[in-house]
Structure formats: structure tokens, C-alpha cells
Structure 1
Amino acid sequence: MSMQGVASIGECMLELSGQSGPDWRLGFAGDTFNTLWALAALAKDRPATYVSAFGDDPFSHQQIEFLAENGIGIGASPVIAGARPGLYAITLEGAERSFTYWRADSAARQLASNSDALVKSLESQSLIYFSGITLAILDERARGTLLTTVAAARAAGSLVAFDPNYRPRLWPDVGTAQKAIAAALTVTDIALPTFPDEQMLHGDRSPEETATRLGRTVSEIVVKNGEMPALVATGADREEIPAIHVAKPVDTTGAGDSFNGGYLAARLAGRSPAEAARSAHRVAAAVVQVRGALAPFDILRKAFGQ
């Protein structure tokens, strides 16, 4: 069976982004969705699937319609009666953002409730992507179901990418987060951590220390570090890839997620890890020059060199 598609697992939320004055703009975003958005733009010959769970309210219907309008399917993701999407609001101070969330009863928390549907959604995917936030919104049993399903897909030939994306407020304690993320890394081919997150979760003193620790489990690692160089680690090889400085960023929302999408699209296209990181930096630099987490496809493609 042909393995061409790309799938991302997680939570697509309603996004309220602040505008000038009292008005707010409603959109759709979330860490793993932002990454898939970039993949859908850049790996445009590969069918894109967002694997989650959705409600049956009007906002959930709008989400699914928005995905379809942009060429993104939902596979066998369940639609759950009475459920609804999570919501977050972005407030900006300059280009830096802060978030307020309402997500405790999000439908996406049930994305692993139907194991058969999850298996079907991940069948024959060339790439499967998920994050520490995906893990954090699930209970322990559901996390186990998710990782077992991802491991089976990997054994069947899927490439698995994972961003630990540690968000303390989503976890009951540090130990639970460390244990869950460590388990996810055992089924991962490409790890895409962010150094400040790893520093907070593990006390790492440098990106090199992060790469060395993760390298005991994962063969390909890119340690992102904001405007500092990204460290690409493959086996014993290390290479720092400078970030692209943007003099006047508009909104940094989704920059790291878009970096991940750019990197993975470049790797699927056959670019080396170092060249993929360069491509990813260009994509991230383009994203911080637009408002919101999702840059238009044409902007992403131009930055990627398409």
C-alpha cells in the first residue's frame, strides 16, 4: 500500500486574536495544527490529515469545513455528540504574545477514545507528527493508546516526528510530563525540541546537552532556540544553523510550529537535515511577519523556495 500522506495528531482550537480596538478575529489554530498547516502548504502533493476529535456544535462544524476548504481531511476522527472545541485568546505586547485558554472540556481530549478510528486515521501515512501538548491533554490510559498506535504505524513504515513542547500548566507535575515525553521519544524518528522548554523540564544547560540526552533514544534531533541558531544532531554529528533575524516581527505566534512544518516538508522532499533547518528558518521568519498562527500558503511556499 502506498504511503504518501502526512498526519498530525492533537487539538485544533478556536483562536481569538487581538486587533486594534475592541474587535477580535476568530480563527483556528493549535500547535500540531499549525505544523500540519505548513506541511499542507509545502508538501502539497501529500494528502494532509488532522487526527483529533471534534464536537457537533456550530464552531466544530466550522472547524471541519475550514480544514476541508484548505485541503486538510480529518481521517476517521470521531465527531462526539455534545462536545465542543477548546478556545484561546492571544494578546500582544509588541510582537510578543501571551495566551488565555478555555480547554478543560475540549473534544480533542477524546481523540484516543476510539482506538479503531485512531488506527484507521494513521494507516499508510508517510509521516506522523504529534507533540507534548497532544500527550498533555490526554489521560494516562489514552496516552498509552496513542503511543501504542503510533508505534504500530511506525513499525509498518511511517516516519514519526515529535516535539516535546512542554507546557507546565497542562501537566499535574513535572514527573508525569517527563515520564510521558520519555515514552513518546521511544517511538520517535525525528525530535524537534525547543531549548527553553527542555531547560525548564530537565534543567539542560545547553542545546548540546539536550541533543546528547535525546540522542540516546532518537537518531535525528533539531533543538530550536528562538533567534539563536538551531542545533542539528544526527548521531555524533552536530551543526548549528543560524536563525534569520527579522527586524520588525509582527507576531511570533506559531513560529516554532511552522519551523517544524518547514523542516519536515524539506526532509520529505529529500533535503539534508542541515538544509532542512535552513528552509525551516526561512519559513519561521516569514510567519512572524504576519498576524496569527497561520500564514497564507503562498507566503509559506515562497519562503520555502517553491
Structure 2
Amino acid sequence: MSNRQDSGQSQQELKSTAVGVGLRPEHYQDVLEQAPSIDFLEVHSENFFADAGISVDLLQEVSASTPISLHGTSAGLGSVEAVPDDYLKKLKRLVDRVDPVLVSDHLCFTWARIGGRLFHGGDLLPIPYTEDSLLHAVNNIDRIQQYLGRQIAIENVCAYIEFDQSDFDEASFIGEIVARTQCGLILDINNLMVNARNGQVSNLENFVDRYVGSLDHSAITEIHLAGSTPVGEEELLIDDHACPVSVAGWQTFERVLNVIGPKPTLIEWDNNLPSWRELLGEATKARKAQRRVLGSERSHESL
């Protein structure tokens, strides 16, 4: 199993207060035309698996001046099926090409074998928190870390269904995976809030406190922030990354920072994309939230 102290990480290191944004095709030109006033950029790994092309050239150019985080959506770390060899080869080539500050993917199910053929589910499908699921996830994470020769991080996902059988709650399940594989953890605050709202949690603050309090804070390598399109009281809230971070999202972010301290933070926005300037404005809000929390900590220390 991989060792967090010797994980083959990039020589680039992000400060704990680093703030980044997700780079999507609509903003490629903005990044090329102006040096981004941002600490790092996240891209979806699979969009850059090609051997050559405009996107490959762009990523290499951008990565020469701005740290890159590779965030996958297709590894399916919670699948019963092993991560396919072809996927691993493409990911390894990309990692070697851009020397990312972080490699990550979601703790979800995507791959299944039907009639002897391997199929991809096309979405971030939730997994049951059982001993069997734990074993499959640990095996997949160990395999990918060994293949890449470095630590990866796993992200908590939205689960729009509740399984009949569970051996763990979500936080305990994730904690056990981190302990067994020494992988990192991306704490997606909006996913946490979406699950709480859809699960009809009555007190969000208590829910977040319990969830975050049970995690290994030293394993948290990054925080994700995003917004969801508001829906009616009886409707299912979807993690669509189509809005600014909500007021409740910023409040929860500061609440989490007060518990775990500053961590590199990413603004995700994937649908109904704003202008590049507006996206950077969300990053500025994250920096201000960090400063408020850090300022409060210093005030307490001086008492």
C-alpha cells in the first residue's frame, strides 16, 4: 500500500491557503490570453487523454506556469470491476506529461461487466457502504496508486438513493479507506450539503460537525466548493455545479475551516458557465473566507 509520507507527489507544492478554479473549454482562450491570477487550475483528466491535439498543447503550455490538478470522473474507484488497464495507461501518460500537484477521482461506481463486456455507467454512481464495497474500493485505489507511483485523493460523492444494507456511515467508510490505502481525501462541501438536504437532515451544522469531526484531517488534501440550482421543497436537489456558491455554502466552508484549518480550495463550475472574471470572483470570495477564519484564529491565540 502507498505511504502518505513518500507518495511520489509532484515537486510542485500548494500552500494550504491556495485557491484554484476548474478550467473548462469555454475559458481556454481566457487563460491563454491573460496570466491567471489563481494559485492552481483543475482539469478533468479524461479530456486530455489524447496523444496529441490542441487540448494537449494547451495543457502543456498552461502547466508550464500554473500548477495543474488532475480530477478524474471515470476511474470508478468503487466499482467491483478493476480500473481498466487502458485507462491506467492513459492516466499515467498524462501524469508524466504535466506533473500535477494532485491526482484525484470520485469514490463511486462506474464500471460493470455485462454479458462478458465491460461497460461504463456514464455517471458518478453511489456505492453501498458495506465490507464488500470497502474491499473493492481499497483494491482499486491501491492498484492505481501503485501504477502511478504516487498518492491519489478520493472525493465524497452525492448519493441520490439510500441502500438497504450499510455496515458504515459515509464518513466512517471513507475514513477506513484512507486508513487502509493512505490515499488523500477531497472534501466536497456541496456534495455534503446536497446529501444532507436530500436526506432531510434537520440540523446541517450538527451534521457537518459530526461528519468532518470523524475524518482524518491530515488526509484532507483539498476542499471543493460549488453551487446547485435551487429546487422546490419536495424536489430532489442535484449537484449540477451550475450556480455560484450559496450563502449556506460559504458559511459551511468557514465552519469546516475552523475545524480542520486551511486547505487548498477549488471552485467548481461546470454548467451555465459564467465569465472568466465572475469565476475568479468566486475564488476571491474563498480567499476572503480563509482570511476571516485565519484572522479569528490569530485573535483567539493572542488572548
TM-score, with structure 1 as normaliser:
0.40
The answer to which structure has the higher strand fraction is: 1
Larger Rg: 2
With the length of structure 2 as denominator, give the TM-score of the two structures: 0.40
